[in-house]
Amino acid sequence: MADIQNDKAALLGLLADMMEDYARAIDLDQLERWPDFFEENCIYKVTSRENVAAGYPFGVLFADSRGMLADRVRSLREANIYEGQVYRHLMGRPFILSVDNGLVQVETSFLILRTMRTGEMSTFAAGTYQDRVRVADGKASFVERIVVCDSSRVDTLLALPL
Amino acid sequence: MTAHFSQERPAWPQNELTRVPYWVYDDEDVYRKEQDGIYQGPVWNYLGLEAELPEQGDYKTTFVGDMPVIVVRGEDGTINAFENRCAHRGSLLALQNRGKAKNFTCVYHAWSHDLQGNLKSVAFRRGINGEGGMPADFDLKQHGPRKLRTETFCGLVFGTLSAETPDIETYLGEAVTARLRRVLHKPIRIYGQYTQALPNNWKLYFENVKDTYHSSLLHTFFATFKVSRLSQGGGVIVADTGGHHVSYSLSHKGGKDEEFANEGLRSNQEDFSLNDASVLDIVDEFGDGCHVQILSVFPGFVLQAIHNSLAVRQILPKNSRQTDLIWTLIGFTDDDERMQTLRMKHANLVGPAGYVSMEDGAVGGFVQRGTAGAACQSSVVMMGGASTSTSSSRASENSIRGFWKFYRNLVKL
């Protein structure tokens, strides 16, 4: 399995599967699975092109542990109030930027449609996932996932993770 | 987007502050009156942070009500603000959110304006080969975008179009001034910026900011962790004019909240615990044990200090049913690494994805939609009686009534 880093097609397949399953966890309301895609010590951040260009460190969401991600799911389930809504992730092919010692730098475009309980549907977010993924034993997990949205504007609220 | 009811709306009795008719949140005629009475009237509009414009020529574009505005640091270091509108045919002068400029030359016919907003040159003013051009008596000084009077205070930039607006400290009043200084006491660093599009009238959001009654009832995240309860120490300061407010709470000592238990409220869950509690670590950075302070300045500014998450929010009306809320997360230039991380973690509490404030983005829309057929009905604003003064109880609506007191002095409905 150590060879997967040298087998681009296999690596791409592994990453694409991971990205797709990540999206399924959110889109199919299996949020409890969402933290499992990350390492224990990880970074998950939602920001925008504008913030990145200005050199600002923050966006709308930041977590630096898997525990924080699990807490967000728990809060969404038990504490926060938001109207019924679902996402539909559409993603481009992962583009591998570098592979180094089991650590893969990869960028993937996304488009998220949000459908509200009323049936109202909107293009909620578009941008790129800028990821650092650890590949070991045929498994992939996020060390870092920076969600860079093209727009700095969020409609009403961002309840479900991107 | 039709069905406005300016014709049949019932009268709102003079001096009535405990009832607010629902038509004020929806009527296009009210919206237009607010543009003149409030935004272009005797108020200080928040325009931005000095930290956004560190060097001469640095500019940003924003709005005063509907009016597009350029805010720019001039050659002499002072901050100028003027309408983002060419003196000639009215095109936008600046087309970027921010940038650096030596002058503002309109793209349409190249009329040029300096950093003070003065019209300096007109292309082909003398015509071409002796033909065309402007009449000889055309006076550049008589033409130009409207200028705002600006004041900076604690790193904040405010602008007004009215000659009657008093200086900023008089406008804020002593108590609110002191509470602004408490937080913004040293040079500011910007952490991030985003816009939240709110599906409601701007007043519903401003009322929500001033509404201390809802905080631990709607936002159950904080309450569940015993961080904010109406029964813990704190209070509400309302400026004498009514327009501005400060609410604050002291740190909670922990333990079960009897008032909540007695009311059987949704937020009283004792067994809720976090996997990563670092999001609730607090540094007492102002040294007074006050860990939540929300401050508002009429008509569109909020300063928030929730734990170590500091932010300014600019409320911009877009039309009678839509509002932009522009968040700028801040800290100080001398924040060490630990404080930087803490501010980023605590920023999860606020904004559109905030544990304690995502509901604020939606609840205004719930009211907007809930009242769609209720033009003749009114909301009830009676918690704490009819008072519009400072109160030690946050189970009151004094600051909301204060808002309407100030509002009704400016907008005659």
ipTM: 0.95
Q: How far is CA B149 from CA B46, B71, B146, B152, B166, in A?
A: 12, 11, 10, 10, 11
pLDDT at residue B176 tops 50:
yes
pLDDT at residue B349 tops 80:
yes
Q: Tell whether A117 is within 8 A of chain B (Cβ).
A: no
pLDDT at residue A42 tops 90:
yes
Residues of A in contact with B308 (CB under 8 A): none
Rg (alpha carbons) of chain A, rounded to whole number: 16
pLDDT at residue A61 tops 80:
yes
Confidence (pLDDT) at B264: 58
Confidence (pLDDT) at B161: 98
Of the candidates A50, A65, A83, the beta carbon closest to that of B276 is on A65
Compute φ and ψ for B215, nearest 5 degrees: -55, -50
User: What tokens does B86 get?
Assistant: 């060419």
pLDDT at residue A136 tops 60:
yes
Q: Tell whether A43 is within 8 A of chain B (Cβ).
A: no
Gap from B361 CA to chain A (nearest CA, Å):
5
Q: What is the pTM of this model?
A: 0.94
CA quadruple A32, A37, A40, A45: dihedral, nearest 10: -90
Q: Over the stretch B192-248, which tens digit does the pLDDT of each residue have?
A: 999 999 999 999 999 999 998 888 788 888 767 655 555 567 899 999 999 999 999
Helix (H) or strand (E) holding A74: helix A66-78
| Residue A123, number of CB atoms within 10 A of its CB | 11
Q: Over the stretch B3-45, which tens digit does the pLDDT of each residue have?
A: 454 457 889 999 899 999 999 999 999 999 999 999 999 999 9
Query: Rounded distance, CA B252 to CA B232, Å?
Result: 6
pLDDT at residue A2 tops 60:
no
Q: Tell whether B352 is within 8 A of chain A (Cβ).
A: yes
| Average predicted confidence (pLDDT) for chain B | 91
Q: Over the stretch A91-113, which tens digit does the pLDDT of each residue have?
A: 999 999 999 999 999 999 999 99
Nearest residue to B78 via CA among B146, B191, B159: B159
Confidence (pLDDT) at A89: 98
Confidence (pLDDT) at B273: 78
With contact defined as beta carbons under 8 Å apart, do A42 and A66 qualify? yes
Least confident of A3-12, A46-55, A123-132: A3-12
Residues of A in contact with B267 (CB under 8 A): 79
Of the candidates A70, A155, A158, the beta carbon closest to that of B353 is on A158
Site from A80, A85, A116, A148 to mutate, B interface, most B CB atoms within 10 angstroms: A80
With contact defined as beta carbons under 8 Å apart, do B245 and B207 qualify? no
Does A80 contact B355 at a Cβ distance shorter than 8 Å?
Answer: yes
Does A83 contact B362 at a Cβ distance shorter than 8 Å?
Answer: yes
User: What tokens does B122 get?
Assistant: 């007109």
Across the range B87-103, mean pLDDT stands at 96
Q: Tell whether B335 is within 8 A of chain A (Cβ).
A: no
Q: Over the stretch B238-293, which tens digit does the pLDDT of each residue have?
A: 999 999 999 998 865 444 555 555 665 555 555 567 888 888 888 999 999 898 99
